[in-house]
């Protein structure tokens, strides 16, 4: 391995309720596909990569006991009492990692079940080799409805959340997977200055990219060569599709 895995941490965002999926009795990440909770596939992949329990931090909230009882001491936990957005959840998770961790992979617990270990290792390696404070994994998908887009224009890259898209931008198919690698010190510092998203009143991870760009920091957006490794699960139809794919693997 061309980098020191012991200095890498992982934060898995797992506090969401999954309102659109009618999750009243369990966290969204504990919905099952292929007979197992969605987030369990992500944790297993990370363990196969060589990450230990203290390096994998799940940010939990709604019905957190279900997640803690399932994984026990396979991972560590941080509680997000107030759901103040993805950037806030990532900040809490990063603060919960051991002090020797220098770079942090941030994943959504509900959309990372299909990632292959080599994809994530290559992503981390490119982040480190290119000396970036932030790296984002993007994907080109057929139906980007209800997803934020990656806008590349005039040598400028930005993420536009779905709430802010123009009609023209809605035609773009490159989306943010929400999978990032951050330089830990940089992220902990910029979060203290991060503004809330106007329409949502919470802290969003896309704002970190805007801050890196505006402050002339080194960052990158890497488009996945195999977009089928990312599956957003936001509707019952998407849950059913992910279940069928897992059942056939």
Q: Is residue 172 part of a domain?
A: no
Read off the pLDDT band of 19 (50, 70, 90). Answer: low
- Pull the structure tokens for residue 161: 């959340």
Domain that holds residue 219: 7-138+178-248
In a domain, 16, yes or no: yes
Q: Is residue 52 part of a domain?
A: yes
> Which domain CATH number covers 74?
3.90.550.10
Contact partners, residue 226, CB within 8 Å, separation at least 6: 119
Residue 33 located in a structural domain: yes
Least confident of 40-49, 86-95, 158-167, 189-198: 158-167
Flag whether 128 is in a domain.
Answer: yes
pLDDT value at residue 82: 87
The residue count for the chain: 249
**pLDDT greater than 90 at residue 153:** no
User: Which tokens sit at 56?
Assistant: 């994998």
For the chain, give the mean pLDDT: 92
Look at residue 158 and tell me if it is in a domain: no
Structural domains of the chain, count: 1
* Residue 160 counted as domain residue: no
Q: What is the mean pLDDT of residues 140-163?
A: 86
For 80, phi and psi rounded to 5 degrees?
A: -100, 95
Give percent above pLDDT 70 in the chain.
97
Q: Are strands 56-60 and 76-79 parallel, antiparallel or unpaired?
A: parallel
Span 229-244, pLDDT tens digits = 999 888 888 899 999 9
Check whether 99 has a pLDDT greater than 70.
yes
Query: Do 163 and 194 form a contact (C-beta atoms < 8 A)?
Result: no
Mean per-residue pLDDT, 102-126: 96
159 belongs to a structural domain = no
Model confidence pLDDT, tens digit, residues 179-208: 999 999 999 999 999 999 877 789 999 999
Q: Is the pLDDT of residue 51 over 90?
A: yes
What's the pLDDT at 57?
98
pLDDT at 173 over 90: yes
Could you tell me the CA-to-CA distances from 101 to 18, 65, 179, 184, 194 in Å, in that order? Answer: 30, 26, 18, 7, 22
How high is the pLDDT of residue 162? Answer: 83
């Amino acid at each position: 391995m061309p980098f020191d895995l012991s200095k890498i941490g992982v934060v898995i965002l797992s506090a969401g309720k999954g309102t659109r999926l009618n999750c009243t009795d369990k966290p969204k990440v504990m919905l099952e596909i292929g007979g197992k909770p969605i987030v369990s596939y992500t944790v297993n992949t990370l363990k196969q990569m060589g990450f230990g329990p203290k390096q994998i931090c799940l940010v939990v909230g709604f019905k957190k006991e279900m997640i803690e009882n399932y994984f026990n001491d396979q991972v560590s936990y941080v509680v997000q009492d107030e759901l103040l957005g993805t950037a806030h959840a990532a900040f809490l998770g990063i603060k919960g990692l051991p002090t020797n961790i220098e770079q942090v992979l941030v994943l959504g617990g509900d959309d990372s079940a299909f990632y292959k270990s080599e994809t994530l290792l290559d992503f981390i390696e490119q982040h480190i080799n290119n000396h970036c404070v932030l790296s984002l994994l993007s994907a080109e998908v057929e139906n980007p409805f209800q997803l934020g887009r990656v806008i590349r224009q005039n040598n400028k890259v930005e993420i536009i959340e779905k709430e802010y898209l123009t009609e023209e931008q809605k035609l773009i198919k490159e989306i943010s997977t929400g999978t990032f690698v951050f330089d830990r010190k940089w992220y902990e510092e910029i979060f203290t200055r991060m503004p809330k998203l106007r329409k949502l009143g919470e802290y969003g991870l896309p704002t970190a990219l805007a801050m890196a760009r505006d402050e002339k920091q080194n960052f990158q957006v890497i488009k996945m060569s195999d977009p089928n490794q990312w599956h957003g699960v936001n509707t019952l139809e998407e849950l059913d599709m992910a279940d069928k794919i897992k059942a056939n693997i």
